[in-house]
């Protein structure tokens, strides 16, 4: 499965920067932002600013079986990088 990767930088409520990618099956900027908001809410960051300025389409790549399974069940996968819980 090829996935669309959205490079995302968000400022947490304590002021530190979180860097993560939103992986989705289709290129849809609005859905990627909605997925990021859903995940941010799940980690207690529901008030974090997230727009196309913070969540930008980056590239297409292949998914691992774990990523593909989560995308099929939830619609997205979050790849955590710097500053993420």
Q: Are 19 and 84 in contact (CB under 8 A)?
A: yes
Determine the pLDDT at residue 84: 94
Determine the pLDDT at residue 53: 95
Structure confidence by residue, pLDDT tens digits, 16-71 = 999 999 999 999 999 999 999 999 999 999 999 999 999 999 999 999 999 999 99
Instruction: Output the six-digit token pair for 56.
Output: 């930008």
Hey, what domains does the chain have and what are their CATH numbers?
2-80 (3.10.510.10)
DSSP output for 1-59: -EEEEEEEEEE-TTS-EEEEEEEESS--HHHHHHHHHHHHHHTT-TT---STTTEEEEE
Confidence of residue 82 (pLDDT cuts 50, 70, 90): very high
Determine the pLDDT at residue 70: 97
Determine the pLDDT at residue 54: 96
């Amino acid at each position: 499965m090829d996935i669309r990767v959205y490079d995302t930088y968000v400022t947490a409520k304590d002021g530190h920067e979180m860097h993560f990618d939103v992986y989705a099956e289709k290129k849809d900027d609005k859905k990627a932002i909605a997925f990021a908001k859903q995940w941010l809410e799940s980690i207690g960051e529901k008030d974090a600013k997230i727009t196309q300025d913070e969540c930008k389409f980056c590239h297409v790549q292949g998914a691992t079986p774990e990523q593909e399974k989560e995308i099929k069940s939830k619609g997205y996968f979050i790849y955590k990088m710097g500053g993420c819980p």
